[in-house]
Structure 1
Amino acid sequence: MKYTQLGSSNINVSRVCLGTMTWGVQNNQHDADQQIAFASECGINFMDTAEMYAVPPTPETYGKTEEIIGNYFAKNPQKRNNWVVATKIAGNGLPWIRNATNITGQAVINAVDASLKRLQIDTIDVYQLHWPNRTSPHFAKHRPNQISFSNVDTKEHKAQMLDILQGLEHCIKAGKIRHYGLSDDTTWGIHTFIELAKEHNLPRPVSIQNEFNLLHAKDWPYLIEHCVHEEIAYLPWSPLATGMLSGKYLNNARPEGSRWTLMQRNGLFRNTEFAQQAVAEYCQLANQLGITPSQLALAWCDQVDGVTSTIIGATTQEQLQENIAAFQLNLPSDFMARVDEIWRKYPLPY
């Protein structure tokens, strides 16, 4: 396993991050315990979760994933120091979480305490803002004029961000979190948090996680360039496009128990005609290379300049083994060029 520095922090993380959002719906405690143990055996030391999980988010599944992780650490306290634990505070919009209200500094303080209790640990290594208070161009909102930037009150949002920063600083000084990061945010969001941190002598973000994969690479190059030069770790989530890049949904197949058979809060917006065509071609290339389509997509993600650690998730032990093996493949020297031939045909199919 390879390791790399998490942004400007002093933390080294594995190039693979263990995603956990299926724990509590598609996976139970036993499954999670097995995944954690196997990932650790493979050298993975980085785990990502959120107060909102399990997914799909519901009032009944809220906090379940953190509780499962907490149960693991309660049973295996000696394993805590083997892991860099990252979790997230949910943003606005979910009625059962803070009545769908914005993230505030006080909300951060309260949510950190609640996550620590569920996780049964003393300190969260990386505490992330799951999405910003303003609407950001993620979840199929990235085409021109789908959302408006010009009607956002810049001064008000900067004031909100400063309040959040002060709440994060409170938690850092109290020893409850070590660092903080962003999620589903933009270059402006990163820049503004950094500038506010400089101006007010507050902690700066060390990471951001956004959706990034062969079907959805909109963060390349501008946001990722910004991350590299500002020492912000870039953490792709959904590197398999919610499983689409595995090929299992080709021709509108719906394998029993798969994620696309569950309720999707934002619908199946990734399932477009061009995305289906792109996946079919990536599957053909994977077959030529003697690897699985999932491994092709993950290996590509790992080799994109500026990517720090790729967040993977699995519902079965076999999927987890397959996914982790993708980061240890002996690939041909022209691998990225051959993938690029297809990518240029379908640069943003959803």
Structure 2
Amino acid sequence: MKYSQLGRTGIEVSRVCLGTMTWGKQNSQKDADEQMAFALDQGVNFIDTAEMYAVPPTPETYGKTEAIIGDWLSRNGQRREEIVLATKIAGNGLSWVRDGGDVTGEAIVASIEASLERLQTDYIDLYQIHWPNRTSPHFAKHWPGRLNFSNVDSQEQSKQMLEILQALGECVKAGKIKHFGLSNETPWGINEYLRLSDKHDLPRVASIQNEFSLLHAKDWPYLIESCVREDVAYLPWSPLAAGALSGKYIDGARPEGSRWSFAQRNGLFRDTGASNAAIKAYKELAESYGLTASQMALAWVDQLDGVTSTIIGATKMSQLKEDMKAFDMGLNDSLQADIAAIFKQYPVPY
């Protein structure tokens, strides 16, 4: 396993981060135990979760994933120091989480306490804001005209960010969290947090996790350049586009028990004619080089400049084992060129 620095924290994290959002819905405690054991045995030391999980999010599944990890930690406490444990506070919009309200300083403090209790640990290594209070251009809202930035009060957003940073600072001082990160953010969001932390001597953003894959690479190059220049770790989530790049959903297929067979909070917005055509082309290309479609897609993300650690998740051990192999694979110049040709044909398929 290879490792990278997590921003300026001094922490080394594995190039693979084990995502856990299916634990508590598609995966049981037993499944999670098996995945944890395998991942740790492979050198993975980075685990990502969220208070909102499992997914799809519902009142019944809220907090279940953290509780599953907490159950594992209660039985494997001696291994806590081996793990860089990351979780997230849910943003606004979920009626069963703080009545759907914004992330505030008070919410930060309360949510950290609740996560610590579910996780059965004394501290969280990386505490992340799952999504910002303002509507950000993610989850199919990146198309021109989809959002109106001019109608959002920048000063009010900055004021809210400062309150969040101050609460995070108090939690760092109390030893409850070590570092903080962002998720589903933008270059403006990153740089505003950096400006505020520098001005007020508050915790510095260590990382950002955004959706990123061969089908959804909108963070390249502008946001990723910001990360590189400012030493903010970039953590791609959904590197397989919610499993689509494995090829299992081609032409409308819906394998029983797969994620796309469940109702989705934001709908199946990744399922378009262009993405279906792109996935077919990538799958055919991967197989011509003796790789699976998933392995090629993951290896492509891993080799990209600026990527610190890629968040992968699996519902089956066979999938996890297949995907882990991708991080020991290199992509030769010929394959890189062939991937680029398909990418240029389908640059924004959803």
Shift of 1:330: 4.5
- With over 3 angstroms needed to count, the CA separation of the structure-2 counterparts of 1:330 and 1:144, relative to structure 1, is closer
User: Does the 8 Å contact 2:86/2:126 carry over to 1?
Assistant: yes
TM-score for the superposition, normalised by structure 2: 0.99
User: Does the 8 Å contact 2:13/2:45 carry over to 1?
Assistant: yes
Q: Which residue of 2 aligns with 1:342?
A: 342
Identity of aligned residues (%): 62
What one-letter code is carried by the residue in structure 2 that aligns with 1:154? S
- How is 1:328-339 mapped onto 2 (pairs within 5 angstroms)? 328-339=328-339
Cα distance in 2 for residues equivalent to 1:178 and 1:335 = 40
- How is 1:188-337 mapped onto 2 (pairs within 5 angstroms)? 188-337=188-337
Q: Give the secondary-structure state (helix, strand or coil) at the position aligned to 1:270.
A: coil
Segments of 5+ residues of structure 2 without an aligned counterpart are none
Q: C-alpha offsets along residues 109-153 of structure 1, whole Å, 9 cap, x if unaligned?
A: 110000000000111000000000000000000011101100000
User: Does the 8 Å contact 2:91/2:102 carry over to 1?
Assistant: yes
Q: C-alpha offsets along residues 170-197 of structure 1, whole Å, 9 cap, x if unaligned?
A: 1000000000000000000000000000
TM-score for the superposition, normalised by structure 1: 0.99
Cα distance in 2 for residues equivalent to 1:307 and 1:330 = 15
In the TM superposition, structure 1's runs of 4+ consecutive aligned residues that sit over 3 Å from their partners are none
What one-letter code is carried by the residue in structure 1 that aligns with 2:232? I
What one-letter code is carried by the residue in structure 2 that aligns with 1:204? R
Q: Which residue of 2 aligns with 1:92?
A: 92
1:110 aligns with 2:110: yes
Cα distance in 2 for residues equivalent to 1:335 and 1:284 = 12
Q: Give the secondary-structure state (helix, strand or coil) at the position aligned to 2:333.
A: coil
Q: C-alpha offsets along residues 74-103 of structure 1, whole Å, 9 cap, x if unaligned?
A: 011111111100000000000000000000
Cα distance in 1 for residues equivalent to 2:134 and 2:343 = 31
Q: Which residue of 1 aligns with 2:169?
A: 169
What one-letter code is carried by the residue in structure 1 that aligns with 2:120? Q
Q: Give the secondary-structure state (helix, strand or coil) at the position aligned to 2:260.
A: helix
Q: Which residue of 2 aligns with 1:62?
A: 62
Q: CA RMSD in A?
A: 0.6
Q: C-alpha offsets along residues 192-231 of structure 1, whole Å, 9 cap, x if unaligned?
A: 0000001111111000000000000000000000000000
Q: C-alpha offsets along residues 225-282 of structure 1, whole Å, 9 cap, x if unaligned?
A: 0000000000000000000000000010000000000110000000000000000000
Cα distance in 2 for residues equivalent to 1:219 and 1:180 = 20
1:144 aligns with 2:140: no
User: Does the 8 Å contact 2:299/2:330 carry over to 1?
Assistant: no
Q: Give the secondary-structure state (helix, strand or coil) at the position aligned to 1:341.
A: helix
Segments of 5+ residues of structure 1 without an aligned counterpart are none
Q: Give the secondary-structure state (helix, strand or coil) at the position aligned to 1:337.
A: helix
What one-letter code is carried by the residue in structure 1 that aligns with 2:332? P
What one-letter code is carried by the residue in structure 2 that aligns with 1:230? E
Shift of 1:335: 2.6
Cα distance in 1 for residues equivalent to 2:144 and 2:331 = 37
What one-letter code is carried by the residue in structure 2 that aligns with 1:118? R
Aligned length, in residue pairs = 350
Shift of 1:348: 0.7
User: Does the 8 Å contact 2:185/2:208 carry over to 1?
Assistant: yes
What one-letter code is carried by the residue in structure 2 that aligns with 1:88? K
Cα distance in 1 for residues equivalent to 2:133 and 2:311 = 23
Shift of 1:339: 0.8
Q: C-alpha offsets along residues 272-303 of structure 1, whole Å, 9 cap, x if unaligned?
A: 00000000000010111101000010000001
